[in-house]
Chains A and B, each alone.
Chain A
Amino acid sequence: MLFTESTLVFIALNGVFAFSFYAVLVAGQLSLAQAGFAGIAGFTAATLTPPPAQWGPIPTLLFAMVVGMLVGAVTAVILGLPTMKLRGVYLAIATLGFAEAIRIFLLNSEWTGGAQGMSVPKTLTPVVAWVVLALVTYWFARQSRSRYGRALEAIREDELAARSIGINVGGHRLSAFVAAGVLAGLYGVMWAYYVRLVAPEDFGFSTAIDGLVTAVVGGTANFFGPILGSGFQTMLPEIQRTIGIEAGWIRPFISGLLLLLVILYLPGGIASLIPRRRQKVDIASLQTDAAGLSLRAHPTAGEVVAELKDLAKEYGGVHAVRGVNLTVRSGEVVGLIGPNGAGKTTLVNMISGLIPPSSGSATVLGVPIGRTPVHRIAAAGVTRTFQHSKLFNRLTALENVLIGAHVVAKPTFLRRLIWLPSARRDEHTALTHAARCLDRVGLLDKANTLAKGLSYGDQRRLEIARALAADPSLLILDEPAAGMNHVEADGLSELIRSLAADGLTIIFIEHNVGMVLDTCDHIIVLNFGEVLADGTPADIAADERVIEAYLGAADDGETDAHEADVAAAATPTKAAEENDD
């Protein structure tokens, strides 16, 4: 008999546990604390809950589950606050250590019964177990296409890019971690109320590894993953037993082998066999659909957008930027040029809040930089692109831009849980907004292409579209034309002018000086971290010091109107791209 009652219950149990790993894996976090959460929650709930004779079995179980979920959540917050700044393997090991510490604590405590464990009434039935699994699955099904779910995906794909479009990465990571704690706590209680005798050893290292493996085998491509993984992992020993493979070494060997095969040949887990439904947009509805997002009020033309006072950044004695004073006014297109290593990227990194200045101060859109987190600065209306594009590679162009709209779109997850029609409307509005931003950069026909599949020039434009989706007041472009051909660069120049005409303020770093002279109202030349010149394009083109800093020697004979000297030295080269300044 393959599907015994206990097999059914264990599929549901392992599924819930796998979801507790899924909850953080979708945000790109590898946590192994879940076994610890389950342990402390299981024991605490079993201790606090009165025997079933008092309230009846189901209310008792429900009460225990609530206690377990609360304990899981609180434990997750306690562990999460100090460890959320850790990444990757560090987080995995720290959380594993925490889980192990909990196990040792439970093992050495009187109230848990120590190594003997605690006897708990068996009240969990297959029906209850599967109802719980169904609810958990529903939760994640509704999460996946909400603003919250997309933000988690963005964090998984590229944390820095997520921060720079206004996603509060720390908060989202912590909430995902708490969800993992709640689910692990739930699992711990269900386990305790099914196995009759619960012991600290049930929540050890191998339990954590089993949960992780189940989640990974199932895959995080969609919300079926944990159930599929649990079905696979739970049924495997049963099937082996049914077809007469004896216990001992063969069963773990085959389990290991299958796990290896899945990870080698099915990178997204079993769930990746189910094709993913991508977010699509009906292009025809773009023109007719008048409803847009309620966008922010931009500063009026001429108002000060950014004010830099004596700004400096030092790396171990090297002055990357020093003594920069600068005022940027609304509606301006400001070009930032200078040789490699002049400090251009460092300067915009400070303006966008990615790195704090060593000294000096700056205010951008009324927000003081230095202590303000990047996502706050983004929310105030500063978005940017990066020198090496930082797209969410495994998502489509449209999904990238949709995530870019995070700060202007409304949160939809909780309303999606109860199927409120307004959530559907808001999602539709955001989608239309994203499609319009794509249209603006001329990429609408590639909306459903994966970002990594786009050409280099298209990737640069997609990054601009994503930054535009946040409806910024100040847009910072770091070498947007690098790798573009003449035609593409001309198109980009036009786009920048038209954005400025709409009231955006733009700062852009570019090595193509001809393009900068043609596009900008205001140019700043940096050299060795200091402002060498600051003025209109005509001033800059005539400035002897600029020509010298760029050239030092004669030009190569190109004689194209006013910018010949400067432009000749500054055509973008491969070397310029490789070389971070």
Chain B
Amino acid sequence: MLQQLLNGLFLGSIYALFAIGLTLVFGILDRLNLAHPSVFAASAFVGIWMTEAFDLPLWLVLIAVFAFGAIMGLLIERIAFRPLRERPDAHFAGLISSIAMAGMIVALLQAVFGPNTRRFPVGTIPEDALQFGDLTASWLQIIILAVSLGLMIALSILVQRSSLGRSMRAVAENPTAARVLGVNVEGVTATTFAISTALGAVAGVLFALNVNSAQLGMGSAIELKGLAVIIVGGMGSLSGSLVGGLILGIAEVFAIQYIGSSWRDLIAFALLFVILLVRPEGLFGKRKVREV
């Protein structure tokens, strides 16, 4: 029972890390970046390649992949979002253009790495498990939990405490006012995208390590769950995504145990519907007060 809870926590922390990147862009810039999952997939392949080709240790791979994700975020923002900024339907157009970007990124991935499933080489992480009383946790699981939680804590400190975070919150509140007050809105926008996809990239490597494989379609599999998580947590709420991700992870592990693995993928949507009916603004979302 407690062991299941722990396993759910490990899985959930990956969901949370993936979703927190998505929700960051949505919360601050009011855009949904559907190319996020393709960065998730791409970084898993890049991470495996770096480990194989240069025999890098995992911590270096994670740093390199973080940088790779950030660069992808800058590219996506520049190509798929910035040109649409002034459109009345920028929100919707960005959705479509990021779908297009996602298709191109996955196609390029196939060009470089081929269509086959890839794995991290044996020995990337120590195989042995740790015992805590009755509970078992592998090194991999501990690394996953530590890295995800560490990054999410760092992100929340960045948003709450730093001057960049202050600018981000100002842009989230009112981009025009922020610009008038001297905030570099373009810079903040680009940085937000970079941080968002960098987190998604690390999540990709952790996910590939966790299931011991990376596939071209791995992004779309987690995409739906990520979207469900950010609604459950409350759109734009960082702590909401964390809690939502963990809840989903734990619920899935228990579902496999008690209902059967074929219904596992339904859990995310069941959660989504309950939340939408009971509390549409999500667990941590804010209600909008006035429109006119």
Interface residues of A (CB under 8 A from B): 30, 82-83, 85-86, 88-90, 92-94, 96-98, 100-101, 104-105, 107-108, 160, 205-206, 209, 212-213, 216, 248-250, 252-253, 255-257, 259-260, 263-264, 267, 315-316, 345, 349, 354-355, 386-387, 393-394, 580
Contact = CB atoms under 8 A, between A and B. Distances in A.
Contacts of A253: 103-104, 107-108, 111
A93 B272 contact: yes
Nearest to B230: A93
A107 B228 CA distance: 20
B121 interface: no
Interface stretch (B1-9, B47-55, B78-86): B78-86
B269 A97 contact: yes
Given A104-B266, A160-B292, A253-B107, A97 B272 contact: yes
B280 A90 contact: yes
B100 A30 contact: no
Contact of A260 (B32, B100, B220): B100
B26 A89 contact: yes
B229 to A, nearest CB: 10
A67 to B, nearest CB: 26
B22 to A, nearest CB: 11
A257 B93 contact: no
Contacts of B100: 213, 256-257, 259-260, 263
Centre residue among B96, B220, B270 by max chain A CB count within 10 A:
B96
B242 interface: no
Contacts of B270: 101
A248 to B, nearest CB: 7
Given A94-B231, A255-B103, A205 B292 contact: no
A86 B103 CA distance: 28
B254 interface: no
B118 to A, nearest CB: 16
Give 5 closest A-B pairs by Cβ, nearest first.
A256-B103, A253-B107, A256-B104, A260-B100, A259-B100
A205 B223 CA distance: 10
Contacts of B71: none
B272 A209 contact: no
Contacts of B110: 248-249, 252
Contacts of B101: 256, 260
Contacts of A160: 291-292
Nearest to A206: B220
13 contacts: A30-B92, A82-B276, A93-B228, A98-B269, A101-B269, A108-B263, A160-B291, A253-B104, A255-B103, A259-B99, A263-B84, A263-B96, A316-B289
A264 B83 contact: yes
A105 to B, nearest CB: 8
Chain B contact residues (Cβ within 8 angstroms of A): what range? Answer: 35 or more
B273 to A, nearest CB: 7
Given A253-B103, A259-B99, A260-B100, A93 B263 contact: no
A503 B84 CA distance: 48
B277 interface: yes
Given A205-B224, A267-B87, A252 B103 contact: yes
A354 B292 contact: yes
A98 B277 CA distance: 13
A386 B291 CA distance: 11
B292 A349 contact: yes
A94 B96 contact: no
Nearest to A259: B100
Nearest to B26: A89
B235 interface: yes
Contacts of A249: 107-111
B91 interface: yes
A101 B273 CA distance: 10
A259 B277 contact: no
Contacts of B289: 315-316
Contacts of B106: 252
Interface in B223-243: 223-224, 227-228, 231, 235
B262 interface: yes
Interface in B10-57: 26, 32
B104 A260 contact: yes
A104 B96 contact: no
A394 B87 CA distance: 12
Contacts of A92: 95
B97 interface: yes
Contacts of B107: 249-250, 252-253, 256
A120 B163 CA distance: 62
A30 B92 CA distance: 8
**Among A93, A255, A315, residue most surrounded by chain B Cβ atoms (within 10 Å):** A93
Nearest to A252: B107
B263 A104 contact: yes
A105 B265 CA distance: 10
B104 A345 contact: no
A509 to B, nearest CB: 12
B214 interface: no
Interface in B60-103: 79-80, 83-84, 87-89, 91-93, 95-97, 99-103
Contacts of A98: 269, 273
Given A205-B220, A264-B84, A386-B292, A216 B269 contact: no
A89 B93 contact: no
B276 A83 contact: yes
Nearest to B275: A94
Contacts of B235: 89-90
B174 to A, nearest CB: 12
A380 to B, nearest CB: 20
Contacts of A267: 87, 89, 93
Contact of A213 (B93, B99, B111): B99
Contacts of B88: 393-394
Interface string B236-274: 000000000000000000000000001101101110110
Nearest to A253: B107
Contacts of A213: 96, 99-100
A101 to B, nearest CB: 4
B287 to A, nearest CB: 11
A349 B290 CA distance: 11
Contact of A94 (B109, B223, B273): B273
A100 B220 CA distance: 12
Contact of B93 (A105, A263, A354): A263
